[in-house]
Structure formats: structure tokens, C-alpha cells
């Protein structure tokens, strides 16, 4: 039996609208998330970190880089005493404060209705990271824009093509879609070269439409940000497409066939 899941306009539209309302409610409730991706209490602790702690953090960063070949872009106290949260080009991880243990996983707060603390940290990282790519998206703007979603896409991805076929429906709902490049095969495959060509096209929307329709992409070259967008996606945990970032920074991950 073919149980291939299909992205539907009703499903994505409902999630976008629902998540937007929920995010507003959370903001009004005064969620304790600061723009640096940690709680207000953690941020307060971070600002009072002693010189000794700062030196220790640098040692942890150096050890992660030396041992795992991962560059740490930021480091901070995690919600769990004794664990540091480290942001790398491969995502968010945790390291014991003595640099001995490396943890991959998610932290949930049992005293706050199972709040996903890892997701909270990633949410602000996604939003701040998106700001750095302003002007480099391929945008399909709604005439009566109500919401903006950012979508990591690959021109060879079947689900991405299905989503793209419904673009006019999203726009009619007031949803503007901004594409970021995420060539699933990495930076050495033909998909990467084709996506560079799309981003370098004089008419990016037409090039994207043609590519998503299976047409041959005329080769072009320019200083596109395809590699940088791909690296950003990896750093925030994108591992498939389409990966949709909603207005509050939460994510609708890619759907796999079953």
C-alpha cells in the first residue's frame, strides 16, 4: 500500500496560523526566553560569570574543536547545572563544565509542563540567524501579507515540489514564503550547482519555478549565499527538506514517506 504523505495547504496553513496565535499568547504571558536563546535567569547568571568561568569555557571550546573538529560559535550555561550548551556548525550540544562529557539530546523541564529547553534555545538562534540572510531569500510574497514563513528547500525534493505547486494557495491565505537553499546532497553535488544557478538567475522566481518543475537549470555563477544558507541550516538542526520556520521560530520539519 502506498502511504506517501502529501503536504496539504490546509495542514500547513492551519499550523502557521495556530502557531502564530500560540506565539502571541506566550509573548503576552511573558515567556522567560531572552534573545540570546537562554532563559532570563540563565542570562543573568551568564552576565555574572567570573573570569575563571570564562577561562574554563574557552578551554571547553578548545577541547570540542580539537577533539571533535567542531567549531563552537557560542557557549552558555544550560538550564541543567553542570552542563554547558554549545552551538556549533552541526547543531546544539551539551558539554559538562569540566569538558569531560559530550551530550547530544534535548532537555525538558518537568516543572514547566515539559517545556523543551533545547528547542527554546534553538528558536531564538533561528530567528537571529534569519536576520543575517535578509535580501538573499527567494521570496514569494502574498499581496495581503499576514504571516511570513522561511523554508529550507532543495529543487530535487519531491515534497518541496509539492509545496511549491501550492504556492498561489499559500499566498492567497496571506502567507509569504521565503526560500533558503539546502542542497541535501551537500556542496559537492549537482543540486548545489543548480541551486547556485537559480539564486544567480536574473529572474529568480522563474528559475525556481522551472527547476521545481524538473526543467534543466542554465548554469550561472555569482556570489550567492547558497553555501552559507546550507551551513546555517545545519547549525540549527535541519536534516531534510522542506523544513519550515514559522513566525515564532518554531519548525515544521520535513515529512518522510512511510
Mapped onto helix, strand or coil, the DSSP state of residue 161 is helix
Who wins on pLDDT, 7 or 81?
81
Q: Which of 115, 160, 178, 194 is catalytic?
A: 160
Mapped onto helix, strand or coil, the DSSP state of residue 258 is coil
Give residue 253's pLDDT: 72
Q: CA 219 to CA 200: how far, in whole Å?
A: 9
Query: Could you give the residue range(s) of every CATH 3.10.450.70 domain in the chain?
Result: 40-123
For the cut 50, the answer to whether the pLDDT of residue 246 exceeds it is yes
pLDDT digit string, tens, across residues 37-70: 444 444 444 444 456 677 888 889 899 999 999 8
The grid coordinates of residue 161 equal 515540489
Active site residue 222: no
Active site residue 184: yes
Query: Which residues make Cβ contacts (< 8 Å) with residue 157, sequence separation at least 6?
Result: 184, 241, 242
Q: What is 13-50 written as a DSSP string?
A: HHHHHHHHHHHHHHHHHT--B-TTSSBHHHHHHHHT--
Average pLDDT value for the chain: 82
Give me the phi and psi of 151, to 5 degrees please. -125, 120
Give residue 230's pLDDT: 95
Decide if domain 40-123 falls under CATH 3.10.450.70: yes
For the cut 50, the answer to whether the pLDDT of residue 22 exceeds it is no
CATH code reported for the domain at 9-26+132-252: 3.40.30.10
Q: CA 109 to CA 101: how far, in whole Å?
A: 21
Query: Could you give the residue range(s) of every CATH 3.40.30.10 domain in the chain?
Result: 9-26+132-252
Q: Which of 115, 126, 178, 184 is catalytic?
A: 184
Q: What percent of the chain has pLDDT over 70?
A: 78
For the cut 70, the answer to whether the pLDDT of residue 192 exceeds it is yes
Q: CA 194 to CA 141: how far, in whole Å?
A: 23
Q: Which of 115, 126, 157, 178 is catalytic?
A: 157
Count other C-beta atoms under 10 Å from residue 227's C-beta.
15
Amino acid at each position: 500500500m502506498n502511504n506517501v504523505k502529501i503536504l496539504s495547504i490546509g495542514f500547513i496553513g492551519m499550523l502557521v496560523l495556530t502557531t502564530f496565535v500560540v506565539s502571541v499568547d506566550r509573548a503576552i504571558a511573558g515567556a522567560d526566553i531572552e534573545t540570546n536563546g537562554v532563559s532570563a535567569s540563565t542570562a543573568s547568571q551568564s552576565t555574572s560569570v567570573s573570569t575563571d568561568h570564562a577561562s574554563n569555557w574557552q578551554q571547553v571550546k578548545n577541547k570540542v574543536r580539537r577533539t571533535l573538529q567542531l567549531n563552537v560559535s557560542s557557549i552558555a550555561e544550560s538550564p541543567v547545572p553542570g552542563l554547558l550548551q554549545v552551538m556549533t556548525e552541526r547543531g546544539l550540544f551539551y558539554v559538562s563544565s569540566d569538558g569531560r562529557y559530550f551530550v547530544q539530546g534535548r532537555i525538558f523541564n518537568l516543572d514547566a509542563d515539559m517545556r523543551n529547553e533545547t528547542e527554546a534555545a534553538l528558536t531564538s538562534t533561528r530567528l537571529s540567524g534569519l536576520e543575517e540572510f535578509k535580501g538573499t531569500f527567494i521570496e514569494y510574497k502574498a499581496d495581503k501579507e499576514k504571516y511570513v514563513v522561511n523554508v529550507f528547500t532543495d529543487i530535487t525534493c519531491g515534497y518541496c515540489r509539492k509545496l511549491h505547486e501550492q504556492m498561489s494557495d499559500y499566498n492567497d491565505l496571506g502567507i509569504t514564503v521565503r526560500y533558503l537553499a539546502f542542497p541535501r546532497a551537500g556542496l559537492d553535488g549537482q543540486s548545489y550547482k543548480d541551486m547556485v544557478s537559480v539564486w544567480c538567475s536574473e529572474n529568480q522566481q522563474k528559475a525556481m519555478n522551472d527547476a521545481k518543475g524538473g526543467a534543466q537549470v542554465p548554469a550561472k555563477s555569482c556570489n550567492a549565499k547558497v553555501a552559507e544558507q546550507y551551513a546555517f541550516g545545519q547549525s540549527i538542526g535541519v536534516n531534510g527538506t522542506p523544513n519550515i520556520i514559522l513566525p515564532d521560530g518554531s519548525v515544521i520539519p520535513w515529512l518522510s514517506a512511510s
